[in-house]
A and B are shown apart, each in its own frame.
Chain A
Amino acid sequence: DAKTTQPPSMDCAEGRAANLPCNHSTISGNEYVYWYRQIHSQGPQYIIHGLKNNETNEMASLIITEDRKSSTLILPHATLRDTAVYYCIVRSPSGGGADGLTFGKGTHLIIQP
């Protein structure tokens, strides 16, 4: 799986949009971009994933650049409960979940009141 690079930490004001970047310059053509988050002392939570088109669900939006070498996760209206470590993971689907995930260090997003 391709390696990803994320800033170690970010702050965002409550109610504002939180934009979390991820670089994945070595991504292969069949690899998806996945985002998970981990709130302190809990298991990771799936957020969203995409291949090349922008994606949106009830939690977030995922913007993938045209060359697919980077992406941005957008939390449109951040709340205090969004404070967590956010992981960007690039992986091939291989049947969906047949392989374990390789977690980098992620971005610690802190939402400020």
Chain B
Amino acid sequence: GAVVSQHPSRVICKSGTSVKIECRSLDFQATTMFWYRQFPKQSLMLMATSNEGSKATYEQGVEKDKFLINHASLTLSTLTVTSAHPEDSSFYICSASGPYEQYFGPGTRLTVT
């Protein structure tokens, strides 16, 4: 199946700093990518839809100025958590759309101290 990578897999940052997470589709081109967030013992929640060459679409309740998404190419989308706070600590997962299904990355564990 198609492969989606994320980098970094794990990051610890201080409160108030910004963190960038990369999502790459390694063997196919993805016009659309998605960003999800998962808190402990909870299910994945869709944060935003990232479209190549256009602005991302954010789900209700997700601050677009805090979670900056850039989808500059058909194989790369980035999520930047700006001015991170401890409550932003979570597991961030991206996915890329294929013809029939979505392919998920391995996730990035963000811890804000």
* Chain A residues within CB distance 8 Å of chain B: 34, 36, 38, 41-46, 49, 87, 93, 96-106
Q: Is the CB of B67 closer than 8 A to any CB of chain A? A: no
In whole angstroms, how far apart are the Cα atoms of A43 and B4 in the complex?
10
Report the contact-size class of chain B (Cβ under 8 Å from the partner): 20 to 34
Main secondary structure of the interface of A (DSSP, over half): loop
Q: Which residues B72-113 have CB closer than 8 A to chain A? A: 91, 93, 95-107, 109
Give min CB distance, B77 to chain A, whole Å.
13
In whole angstroms, how far apart are the Cα atoms of A106 and B59 in the complex?
21
A41-B91, A43-B93, A44-B44 as given contacts; A100 in contact with B49, CB under 8 Å: yes
Question: How many residue pairs between the two chains, A and B, have CB atoms under 8 Å in the bound complex?
Answer: 65
Give min CB distance, A92 to chain B, whole Å.
12
What residue of chain B has the Cβ atom nearest to residue A101's Cβ? Answer: B102
Give min CB distance, B47 to chain A, whole Å.
9
